[in-house]
Every structure is written in C-alpha cells, then in structure tokens.
Structure 1
Amino acid sequence: MVVQYIKDTRREDVDLRMYVTVTEAAYKKIMDTIPNEAKYIKLFYDNEGCGCVMSGIIDLVAVSEKDERDVDIESSVLNFIADRTKLVFMDDKLTVDWHKVGGTFQLKSPSQFYNPNMKLHVRV
C-alpha cells in the first residue's frame, strides 16, 4: 500500500470552508452604494445590546482594510471578510440577495435566513 502525503496549503487568513454567492441584484446595489476606497465587504456579526454573544445579527459593512482577526471568505464576485471568531455563527454556504420591495439586503443559507432586513454600512 502506498500512502501519499499531501501538503496542507491552507492559510490562516482564508476560510476555505465558506463561500458567499452574491445575486446579480445584490451585486448591482452594492456596487452602486460603496465608494471606490472600499476593498472588502465584511460580514459583521453585531451582538452589542443583545445581552449575549449568541444573540447577534449579521450586517454588511464596506471597509477599506481588514482587522487583525479578519479572514477572507471565498465569493462569486466580491472580496468578503469576517472576524474568524464569529464564523461559528454562520453556515458554510451563504447567499447575499437584494430585496427590492423592502429596500434591504438579505443574508441566507439553504437552511435559514440570517438577516432578511440587512443594511450595507460604509466605513472607509
């Protein structure tokens, strides 16, 4: 029996298990909203005022640079990041969509809605 060892090329700054799909409508709205200085779209897990770290909500935040705990997340079109300590609160496959009637973004996975009324904040 031959055993092959494959070098682990994973990087700490990339979460290879997660993937964010951005719908065409969401992509257009994001690009119409963010300034040129925004390099990343952060999946920001906000639990301030919720009383418990388990009771947070995710928003989109356009930023120009990463924080020290941020990791890259694979995406269909945009550069997504998230705090590595908050990834446990998100499924592996996410979709960002634009809800035209409500005028908000939606973050969902095949199993749940994370935030059906998500805002895009700009912090550049």
Structure 2
Amino acid sequence: MIIFIDSYTEEKLANSLAGRPGYFKLFYDTENCGCNGVLAIEILDQPLDTDIRISVKNFTFLVDKQQESLFDDALKLEADRSYPSFKVSSDSALYSTNVRIKDARDMASK
C-alpha cells in the first residue's frame, strides 16, 4: 500500500505529533458505531503485531492486516485547509472527507 501526501498535509501531520514520536494508524472504528465503521486515524506509541507499516515521507502509517483489503493499493491523504480534518481517497473511491486524528499515545498508562 502507498499513501500520498502533499506538503500542507505533511505539516499538519507533524503538528499532530507535537514533536513526539508516534505512528499514524488508519482504520475503520466500529466501537459504539452500529455500522460498518467510521474511518479514523489514531496516533499510537507502538504498532500492534497485526499492523502493516507504511512509510510516508517522515512518518509511519499503520494498517491492520485484517483491514488492509478495505483500502485500494494507493491512497491519497489530504488535510482540509478550512477545518481540522483530512480527506482519504483513491483514484476509484472517496473513503471519507471528515477524518479526524485522535492522539492515543500514553492511553495505557492513564
């Protein structure tokens, strides 16, 4: 899998990390959803054993092996210039236009 980002998106991702290490996990969140899931991005301290790593410029994205088939081989991640969210798309699909980043680092210790 490949994820393409532009320089503005790269800046927004770096701001989300706030100078700390972390991994961006792209996944369908089904918790309390009652549906097929909502596309989300979480910042994690460490990948899980079932995660696939994807290098994107200075970042590492993660996708669970079980959810990898839900995405096309090449994705485009774009930061919204007027709202704190991202759009995830491919040449053949629009996955979501309102993807938020949730920082889940250090959650196990809280």
What's the TM-score once normalised by structure 1's chain length?
A: 0.75
Paired letter, 1:107: V
Partner of 2:30: 47
- Structure 2 distance, partners of 1:117, 1:62, is 17
Backbone CA RMSD of aligned residues? 1.6
The answer (yes or no) to whether the contact 2:55–2:61 under 8 Å persists in 1 is: yes
Partner of 1:104: 85
Q: Which runs of 5+ in 1 are unaligned?
A: 1-17
The answer (yes or no) to whether the contact 2:84–2:100 under 8 Å persists in 1 is: no
Query: What is the number of equivalent residue pairs in this alignment?
Result: 105
Q: Percent identity?
A: 24
Partner of 2:7: 24
- Structure 2 distance, partners of 1:49, 1:69, is 22
Are 2:60 and 1:89 aligned? no
Q: Which structure would you say has the larger Rg?
A: 1
What's the TM-score once normalised by structure 2's chain length?
A: 0.84
Residues 38, 58 of structure 1: alpha-carbon distance in 2 compared, 3 angstrom cutoff: farther
- Misfit runs of 4+, over 3 Å: 35-38, 49-52
- Structure 2 distance, partners of 1:111, 1:74, is 22
